[in-house]
Structure 1
C-alpha cells in the first residue's frame, strides 16, 4: 500500500508540474496504469532502440509478429513500454513547441494513465506509411491485426469515438491476456 500511495503522490506532482488538472483523468474515465516492474526485451523498434514489454505481453507480441510474418504481413514495433518520466517529457516537449495542453492530451495520455506504462501496449507500424499515422488503418497490417490480434490477447485501444476522448489510433494495441 505504501508503494501505491507514493506512486499516486508522484503522479499528482507530475500532473501539477505539467498544468494538467488533477480531476482530468477521472472526468475522462482514464484508468490509472501502474508502471511495469518486470520487463523483457522484444527487439529493436523502428527507431533502432531496444523495446521492452512485460513478460506475458512480450511472449504474445513475439508470437503475433511471427504469425503475421508467416502470413506475409510485416509488423514493425514503433513503441512499447514508456515510463511515467518519459511520458512527462514527451508532453513537456510538445507544450514547449507551442501545442495547446488540450490538443496534447487528445493524443497523449497524462503521465500515470498511459497504457504504455504497464508494459502491455504496443504501437505498430509498417514500412508502407509513416509511423503513428491514421493511414495505418488502410494497410494489410491493420486488416490482419483486426482479424487476428484478439487470438493473441491484443485489442485496439482507441477506436474512433472512444469513450476516453483520445484521437483514433489504429496503431495502438493493448495486451489484455484474454483470448
Structure 2
C-alpha cells in the first residue's frame, strides 16, 4: 500500500507521542491543505503569509474595514502546512516540553486549522504576539464585534471543547457563517 505524504507526516506525529485517538478525543477532524493559496502580506517578522483564496479576500476586506475604524490588524501566522506543524512539535519536544503541554497549545499535525489556509493568528501594535494580553486590545474588541461580518470566528475561546488553550489571537474563516 502506498501511503500519502500527509499520512506519513501524521504517522510521524503519532510516533513522537501524539495519541492515535487525538482527533476523536479532542473533537477535531483531520483537515486538508488547500490546492491554491493567495498572498496576504507580510507577518510581524517580515515573512510573506498565505491563505486560501476566499479566506484571503475576506481577510483583506476585514483588515481594510478595521483600518477605516482606526484599528491595525497585523498577521503573526497564517497558512502552515502539516510538515511545518510537525517541525513545531519536534522543536518543542527537543526543548523538553511534554506532549501533553504541547497539545494544550498547538493542534497536532493534520488537525490544525492553519493547514486549511483559513486560519490566522492576529496581533496589533503594542501587544505581544500570541499572548492573552491581546484580549485587552482595541483590535480584539473590534474583532469580537465585527469579525463575523467577514465570516471569521474565534476558534479557541476559554474552556473550549477541544481542550486547546484560550487563544484570543486565533481566528478562522468559515464559508457558511
Q: TM (normalized to structure 2)?
A: 0.95
1:45-124 equivalence runs, <5 A: 45-124=43-122
Q: Tell me the equivalent position of 1:6.
A: 4
Q: Tell me the equivalent position of 2:21.
A: 23
User: Partners in 2 of 1:55 and 1:41 — Cα distance?
Assistant: 9
TM-superposed CA distance for 1:8, in Å, is 5.9
User: Partners in 2 of 1:8 and 1:53 — Cα distance?
Assistant: 19
User: Partners in 2 of 1:7 and 1:140 — Cα distance?
Assistant: 42
RMSD: 1.6
TM-superposed CA distance for 1:56, in Å, is 0.2
The residue matched to 1:47 in structure 2 has which SS? coil
Question: Is the contact made by 2:37 and 2:50 (CA closer than 8 Å) also made in structure 1?
Answer: yes
Unaligned runs of 5+ in 2: none
User: Partners in 2 of 1:23 and 1:94 — Cα distance?
Assistant: 21
User: Partners in 1 of 2:5 and 2:20 — Cα distance?
Assistant: 14
User: Partners in 2 of 1:163 and 1:40 — Cα distance?
Assistant: 31
TM-superposed CA distance for 1:17, in Å, is 3.0
The residue matched to 1:42 in structure 2 has which SS? strand
Q: How many residues align?
A: 177
The residue matched to 2:169 in structure 1 has which SS? strand
Question: Is the contact made by 2:9 and 2:83 (CA closer than 8 Å) also made in structure 1?
Answer: no
The residue matched to 2:140 in structure 1 has which SS? helix
Q: Which 4+ stretches in 1 moved above 6 angstroms?
A: none
Unaligned runs of 5+ in 1: none
